[in-house]
């Protein structure tokens, strides 16, 4: 399967993370990759690298549980045929490093969808036109 370029602007970031970062408008590539096969996820993976900018100083202890959800041309979050979400999980520690940095700094943050269902993979690769970022609402700050 081929890569797909998404041209995005004004990407929604819900939850606590939206107070501190924004997705930089531009082109992003959905890229199918073969992962290490495991029982939980299979090995049909898709990754996307997203450039984010720190817009407000962060002084907390980290924001966890951050995911990307694919959105279709109607602006609707895409779901699998059985209603399951098609979330991409955050990979690496680039976002943590950015949150500890200075306002105006940027980082390229990677997200990956892992699965074994080629129907879901094909749906993501053919129907996604943009994405939204979701993070938890309540984060405990260090005191």
Q: Are 87 and 113 in contact (CB under 8 A)?
A: yes
> How far apart are alpha carbons 126 and 128 in whole angstroms?
6
Q: CB neighbours (10 Å) of residue 138?
A: 6
> How far apart are alpha carbons 117 and 35 in whole angstroms?
13
Convert the pLDDT of each residue in 83-103 to its tens digit: 989 999 999 999 999 999 999
> Residue 17 burial by CB count (10 A; 0-12/13-18/19+): exposed, middle or buried?
buried
Convert the pLDDT of each residue in 16-33 to its tens digit: 999 999 999 999 999 988
Q: Are 31 and 46 in contact (CB under 8 A)?
A: yes
Eight-class DSSP state of 85: B
| Residues 6+ positions from 19 with CB-CB distance below 8 Å | 56
Convert the pLDDT of each residue in 43-66 to its tens digit: 678 999 999 999 999 988 778 889
Report pTM: 0.87
């Amino acid at each position: 399967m081929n890569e797909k370029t998404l041209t995005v602007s004004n990407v929604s970031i819900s939850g606590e993370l939206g107070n501190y970062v924004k997705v930089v408008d531009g082109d992003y590539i959905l890229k199918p990759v073969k992962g290490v096969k495991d029982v939980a996820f299979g090995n049909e993976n898709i990754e996307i690298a997203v450039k984010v900018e720190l817009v407000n100083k962060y002084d907390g202890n980290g924001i966890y549980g951050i995911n990307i959800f694919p959105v279709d041309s109607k602006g609707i979050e895409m779901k699998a045929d059985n209603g399951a979400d098609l979330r991409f999980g955050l990979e690496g520690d680039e976002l943590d490093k950015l949150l500890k940095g200075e306002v105006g700094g940027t980082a390229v943050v990677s997200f990956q969808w892992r699965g074994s269902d080629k129907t879901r993979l094909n749906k993501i690769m053919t129907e996604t036109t943009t994405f939204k970022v979701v993070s938890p609402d309540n984060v405990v700050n260090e005191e």
